[in-house]
Amino acid sequence: MTDTNILHDVDALLRQLFPICRSITGNGVRQSLDILRATAPFDVVEVPSGTPSFDWTVPDEWNVRDAYVADSHGRRLIDFQQNNLHLVSYSEPYEGTLTFDELHPRLYTLPDLPDAIPYRTSYYNRTWGFCLSQNQFDALDRNELYTVKVDTTLAPGSLTYGETFLPGKSGREFLITTYCCHPSLANDNLSGMVLLTLLLRELQARDLWHSYRFLIIPETIGALTWLAQNEEAARRVSGAYVITTVAGPGAIGFKRSFAGDHLIDRITRLTFAEAGLSVTEYPFDANGSDERQFSSPGFRIACNTICKDKYYEYPYYHTSLDNLDFAKADALVETLKLYFQAIDNLEFNRTYRSFNPKGEPMLGKRGLYPQLGGAIRQSAAGAAYGNELDAIRWLMFYSDGQTPLLDIAEKTGFPLRQLHEVAQKLVAGGLLELVG
């Protein structure tokens, strides 16, 4: 798969998925998951409305046929068909004629971003409302009578999510999640859905060391629902990536886990260092995405989010300006490569035990040592070979059966990939055994 091909796939998926009206339930989610399954297969799970999820309950399913505010001439002034952000998500059905003063409390704008339509939801409080740009709002006639139609359904149905499990050999499992509940917002979080799907496509084709569970779920209620139905599986998880806002033009960085120096933080930090990227580290925050559920006291799964233009941090966040002019395929691919590298580093992070713990092994008799001693530093054979000899020495020095390669990479500065490759040579040469 070349970079060009990946870029093409990302771009096609972004354009195909962007217009769909998604929410925490409903056909928009189903349609989106169907499109993504064409790229990388996963199961689609339906959980009926009313199912308890710890302190929560799966809500009624919400679907939209149409919604608008029209003037007395029948002209649609605020039109869901133009932009699904115009309708407050989970608006209940309504039909009526209202004066401006009656309509006014149902309208939401962003005075500071007068061209942008805000994104609002009201999942658990039955109401209806419309979002519009400040400019649109200012142009509304204060003396007009407005026809309002909210042609939605809010009825028992189900919550829909995608899941797949890729088994590995190590006995350790990592969780990779994203959320699929936002309507036409590109960076938050169409970008996350697309990135996760391409990551899944790549890993499905591999022989894996660890197991990975991929989830595409509605934020909060989806995470809670999955946890409630999979408590045992959740307890097996050694760490997680919560993928969101990965394709903006701005800073690349990551949000730390609550622990700050958990395995997953160290893997992410090393990945950035190896990529030569200066990283913006966002401290853990009890606000955020589904790490709020996965890291809660009952589960305490350490989560990282590698992101490019992190949610909360960019001015277009949760507005109609978070569109495909803002979030783009090339930025997404840049972030995707970091996730590839992070997963690689998780995969490389194995632990070995030396068969030769007492003193150094004699490398010469195994063909692992240059024939003439005393001149390694000056040798024109140079950095490459010298480095490999150093890597061998460090691996033999630290491999006591308790020191993972990640520790050795951090202590020595050797790339984790090189340590992994040299360790495999040393296993083949009978000097190391893989213990975990």
Residues that bind its own copies (CB under 8 A): 53-56, 88-89, 108, 110, 112, 118-125, 127, 129, 220, 223-224, 227-228, 231, 258, 286-287, 292-293, 295-299, 312, 317-318, 354, 356-362, 364-365, 371-375, 377-378, 390, 393-394, 396-400, 412
Phi, psi at 336, each rounded to 5°: -55, -40
Pick between residue 290 and residue 347 the one whose CB is nearest to its own copies.
290
Q: How far is the CB of 216 from its own copies (least distance, A)?
A: 18
CB of 304 to its own copies, least distance (A): 17
Q: Which two tokens stand for residue 84?
A: 């699904």
Q: Which residue has the tokens 């022989």?
A: 207
Of the two residues 128 and 340, which places its CB atom closer to its own copies in the complex?
128
Nearer Cβ to its own copies (2/287): 287
Q: How many angstroms separate the Cα of 382 from the Cα of each of 370, 372, 390, 415, 418?
A: 11, 14, 12, 18, 17
- Are 177 and 212 spatial neighbours (Cβ–Cβ below 8 Å)? no
Residue nearer to its own copies on the CB measure, 197 or 399: 399
Provide the pairing of β-strand 56-57 with 173-179. Answer: unpaired
The distance of closest approach from Cβ of residue 207 to its own copies in the complex, given in angstroms and rounded to an integer, is: 30
Q: How far is the CB of 6 from its own copies (least distance, A)?
A: 32
Q: How far apart are CA 422 and CA 432, in angstroms?
A: 10
Q: First vs last Cα of the chain: how many Å apart? A: 31
Nearer to its own copies, 8 or 411 (CB): 411
What is the closest distance, in whole angstroms, from the C-beta atom of residue 359 to its own copies in the complex? 4
* In the complex, least distance from residue 372 CB atom to its own copies, rounded to whole angstroms: 5
| Cβ proximity to its own copies, 129 vs 239, nearer residue | 129
> Tokens in use for 397?
């020095």
Helix axes 191-204, 3-17, angle to 10 degrees: 140
Instruction: Report the residue number, 215 or 343, with the smaller CB distance to its own copies.
Output: 215
What does the alpha-carbon distance between residue 345 and residue 268 come to, in Å, rounded to a whole number?
Answer: 9
Cα 39 from Cα 216, distance rounded (Å): 14
Closest CB 394 distance from its own copies, rounded Å:
5
Euclidean distance between CA atoms 245 and 219, whole angstroms: 13
State which residue, 55 or 207, has the beta carbon closest to its own copies.
55
Minimum distance from residue 34 beta carbon to its own copies (Å): 26
For the chain, how many residues are written? Answer: 436
User: Which CB, 319 or 341, lies closer to its own copies?
Assistant: 319
Closest C-alpha to 186, from 231, 245, 271 = 245
State in angstroms the smallest separation of the CB of 119 from its own copies: 5
Q: Strand pairing of 76-79 and 173-179? A: unpaired
Q: Is 399 helix (H, G, I), strand (E, B) or coil?
A: coil
Using the minimum distance from each CB to its own copies, give the nearer residue, 138 or 141: 138
Nearer to its own copies by C-beta: 157 or 361? 361
Q: Strands across the sheet with 351-354, in order? A: 400-404, 351-354, 432-434
Minimum CB separation of residue 226 from its own copies in Å reads: 10
- SS3 string, 312-335, reads CCCCCCCECCCCCCCCCHHHHHHH
Residue corresponding to tokens 């590839």:
340
Kindly write down the DSSP assignment for every residue of 262-322, as one continuous string.
Answer: SHHHHHHHHHHHHTT---EEEPP-SSSSTHHHHTSTTT---EEEEEES-TTTSTTTTBTTS
Closest distance to its own copies from the beta carbon of 86 (Å): 14
Q: How far is CA 270 from CA 69, 255, 343, 405, in A?
A: 52, 14, 12, 12
